[in-house]
Amino acid sequence: MEQAKNDRQDGRIMATVSGAWRNSRVIGVTWIIFAVMFATSILIFLPQLFVRYEVVIPPTESQLCPGDNLTYSVEVEITHFPGVATISENWCRAGESGPCSNTLAKTRSIPLAAYRKVAGSPSVPIPMSSFFNKPGPYEYWHVAVNGKSDGYIVPFMIREDCPDIPTPTPTGS
């Protein structure tokens, strides 16, 4: 009698151990499936985080000097309204490591009350600044933020035959 009771208890213990082992295997397999799914999603979406996203708009004339107008065609659609758009603009040397000007950057806010689709040819004067003292490739950056961020880059070249930019003389000497 005692032996049968011990056998039943041993059977229950074995069933519990076997069930626990089976459950831990199911949990382990589930974790492996989640890990594979996570790794796959990382491989799919991670490159998108590091891609340099840009819209490049060609200028009407690409060879310019400081003081000339940089003109280009652009179409803008205002979809987030009412609100205020913050528009930032800057001048940069071309390339991923090309520096941008700290002193020529401009930011302004514009109220937006209704949907608009605007097409035009803005003309922006290239500043008479020593930032443009070297001939070569430069970029005009334009970014607008209003619920989402949109922007574009207008590449252009500073010609080699541009007149020298006068350096400001100190006052009060």
- 98 and 143 belong to one structural domain: yes
Alpha-carbon distance of 59 to 121, in angstroms, equals 10
Specify the length of the chain in residues. 173
Helix (H, G, I), strand (E, B) or coil at 117: strand
Q: What's the number of domains the chain is made of?
A: 2
Question: Do residues 97 and 151 both lie within one domain?
Answer: yes
Tell whether the model's pLDDT for residue 45 goes beyond 60: no
Query: If DSSP codes are grouped into helix, strand and coil, which group holds residue 95?
Result: coil
Domain that holds residue 112: 63-158
Asked whether residue 44 falls in the same domain as residue 111, the answer is no
Q: What CA–CA distance (Å, rounded) separates 69 from 52?
A: 27
Considering the domain architecture, whether residues 29 and 68 belong to the same structural domain is answered as no
Q: How far apart are CA 91 and CA 40, in angstroms?
A: 39
Kindly report, residue by residue over 112-124, the tens digit of the pLDDT: 888 888 889 999 9
- The pTM assigned to this predicted structure is 0.64
CB atoms closer than 10 angstroms to residue 29: 10
In a shared domain, residues 72 and 149: yes
What lies within 8 Å, CB to CB, of 141 at 6+ separation is 88, 89, 90, 91, 92, 100, 151, 152, 153
Average per-residue pLDDT in the chain? 80
Same-domain check for residues 73 and 25: no
List pLDDT tens digits, range 85-119.
Answer: 899 999 999 987 778 998 999 999 989 888 888 88
